[in-house]
Amino acid sequence: MSWHRKHLLTLEDLTREEILHVLDTAESFKEVSTRSIKKVPALRGKVVANLFFEPSTRTRISFGLAAKRLSADTIDFVSAGSSTVKGETFKDTSKNIEAMGIDIAVLRHTAPGAPKMLSECIDARVVNAGDGPHEHPTQGLLDIFTIREEKGKVEGLNVLFVGDITHSRVARSNIWGLKKLGASVGVVGPATLIPKKIEELGVKVYYDLDEVIGEFDVINLLRIQLERQRQNLFPSIREYSRLFGINGERMKRAKPDVVIMHPGPINRGVEITPEVADGANSVILKQVTNGLAVRMAVLYLVSGIK
Ligand code: CP
């Protein structure tokens, strides 16, 4: 198929065929990172601006490296230390950076919908790198890429998300993508962290992890996002870990070949113990490696270069 989208804003927008096209393009870019000279000229002469208005380690570095591997020039903007602290608006900052001549803007922002708004006020192509609790489409794509690599397929798999579903852009993007590719998706967590009407997305809701853990091929653990919670939504971190944390004991109830995922950053000892995070079933660092190939694919496809 050929790619026609100027922006990547959500996985809700993408068709099954478009998602598969990104994954297949990422397969070919993954090989580039195994070469002694890890670079291709695909985006030579283009400028990619990383605009990060919210903290990030993986996504910011991954997009920066992906752009460099494609031979693009890069601008790395982080709001702390910029003129936003003097009162410049998000729109003015973005338009000023665009005036320096950028082709693709990669945006992380605390506000849901900020990438869509940016796409409507600048001419450059826009990629959503996480907008508040709304979506994180490249994380969804890299998670699905990793599942396909580990299991050889996505269709027919049972995938479980554990924890703070309400505040998770990662869960939302994954749910859109996985459902389009034919996976069954479940969510489990405290009732206060499961959004109302999530069943309308075709997701099964559970409240007891031990009862259902053995049914799943993939378990994706979500970070408890204390920074997005405005009230105490469960009694204590200790209580949360006891009921929903994955530890060695709980792993005995899971399928022996279950794939354990986490988008990072991990709260070790809260949603996952070190023995599981660093254990044989964990693909957490493979997700990070695959993120680079997926982001190379996304930057290349939205650039419009054939
Ligand atoms: N997974 C993820 O988005 O991590 P960062 O917040 O470090 O980018």
Model pLDDT, residue 230:
57
The Cα–Cα gap between 184 and 234 comes to 27
User: What is the per-residue pLDDT across 168-187, written as a single tens digit (0 to 9) for each?
Assistant: 999 999 999 999 999 999 99
The angle at the Cα of 296, spanning 290 to 299, to the nearest 5 degrees, equals 140
Nearest CA to ligand 1 atom 4: 58
Whether 16-135+291-303 and 137-287 share one fold: the answer is yes
Q: Where are the domains of the chain?
A: 16-135+291-303, 137-287
Å from CA of 133 to ligand 1 middle? 13
Closest among 38, 293, 265 to 141, alpha carbons compared: 293
Give the position, in ligand 1's atom list, of the atom nearest the Cα of 291.
1
pLDDT for 226 = 67
56 lines ligand 1 (CB under 6 A): yes
Provide the pLDDT confidence category of residue 229 given band limits of 50, 70 and 90.
Answer: low
- Fold designation for 137-287: Rossmann fold (3.40.50)
**CB of 138 shorter than 6 A to ligand 1:** no
The pLDDT value recorded for residue 231 is 62
CATH class of the domain comprising 16-135+291-303: alpha beta
Considering the entire predicted model, what is its pTM? 0.95
What's the pLDDT tens digit per position in 161-170? 999 999 999 9
Q: What is the pLDDT of residue 39?
A: 95
Instruction: Kindly tell me if the per-residue pLDDT of 236 is higher than 90.
Output: no
Rounded mean pLDDT of 112-125? 97
Does residue 57's CB lie within 6 angstroms of at least one atom of ligand 1? yes
* Full 3-state SS string of the chain: CCCCCCCECCCCCCCHHHHHHHHHHHHHHHHHHHCCCCCCCCCCCCEEEEEECCCCCHHHHHHHHHHHHCCCEEEEEECCCCHHHHCCCHHHHHHHHHCCCCCEEEEEECCCCHHHHHHHHCCCEEEEEEECCCCCHHHHHHHHHHHHHHHCCCCCCEEEEECCCCCCHHHHHHHHHHHHCCCEEEEECCHHHCCCCHHHHCCEEECCHHHHHHHCCEEEECCCCHHHCCCCCCCCHHHHHHHHCECHHHHCCCCCCCEEECCCCCCECCCECHHHHCCCCECHHHHHHHHHHHHHHHHHHHHCCC
